[in-house]
Chain A
């Protein structure tokens, strides 16, 4: 299958959440989030409920950014540019491609530094790579759940009855 479906189960989700929660603290970051390469937000940590940051848009645009730089890399005969850093006046953003599958994004301000973020991201990347390999293996394993096999045509139709 060229484009395997990503299915996130509780066990792996909790492992991922533990890694990003720790990264927020250890890197002194404002927000850490994980997006898949297609722009779907997988999880977020930090920020706070009243932060008001539009995470869905951030996720989609980050994936667009990675896709665009990936295409630039290919034009230059590089396989990927795995790391990106954007520096603003108040906020900075560090974007790391993990295992060519998912994107780890760290938003930080003057309370942290690029060096610290890089260091902590490197450690988290190794752990996340291992977890996402397990997620992928689970989804592709023979006999894996087809989670929506039991939906009926009526279920689908009822979504559109307005």
Chain B
């Protein structure tokens, strides 16, 4: 649910990074944080366990610039990927405007990806969202690793809707901003339609 403030001339949107545990959601946010000008970003907050697993969420506010005199601000969240944190994952989805699924391309993670996509779809429905109507992007992460699944197989497994997709390596930054820009565009286009 975007929030338009006429007084502050701001438009605020919420984007969530979803995906299985250790697929690179937090790494996406860390890369964005490192590569964004200080004046365009807020603090990166990570509510993580001592072993750096996301416990509740990561949060990064960024500003994309101005659109027709309104500051376009995006609040980026990532959910905890571990199966154990299902209850926390659900509540992060409240009020979202767009979603990115960060898939782990490694051979052994096919099932984890599929389970997470199903979990995402289910949790969205529970919050009243239909994935088919939501700005939605798939990112195939960790493409720089050796033992990765063919792109066509990844697509067949987790992107049957054929939504826009990007290959990425969040560690090195490849594809990170392409993914963010793509979802932001979809969100703004949806806003234009009055969604």
Q: Which residues of A contact B (CB under 8 A)?
A: 2-10, 13, 36-40, 42, 54, 56-57, 60-61, 64, 67-68, 70-71, 146-151, 153, 155-160
Contact = CB atoms under 8 A, between A and B. Distances in A.
A contact patch SS: mixed
B176 interface: no
Report, nearest first, the 9 A-B pairs whose CB atoms are least far apart. A38-B95, A2-B128, A146-B194, A67-B91, A40-B3, A3-B1, A13-B7, A8-B5, A56-B42
Contacts of B92: 64, 67
A38 B1 contact: yes
Interface string B43-71: 10101000000001101010011011000
Interface residues of B, number: 42
B47 to A, nearest CB: 8
A156 B185 contact: yes
Interface of B: 1-7, 11-12, 14, 42-43, 45, 47, 56-57, 59, 61, 64-65, 67-68, 72, 75, 87-88, 90-92, 94-95, 128-129, 181, 184-185, 188-189, 191-194
Contact of B56 (A38, A68, A147): A68
B59 A57 contact: yes
A68 B91 contact: yes
10 contacts: A39-B14, A40-B3, A40-B12, A42-B3, A54-B42, A56-B42, A57-B59, A60-B75, A64-B92, A157-B185
A6 B75 contact: no
Most A C-beta atoms less than 10 A away, residue of B2, B3, B45, B72 = B3
B3 A5 contact: yes
A60 B6 contact: no
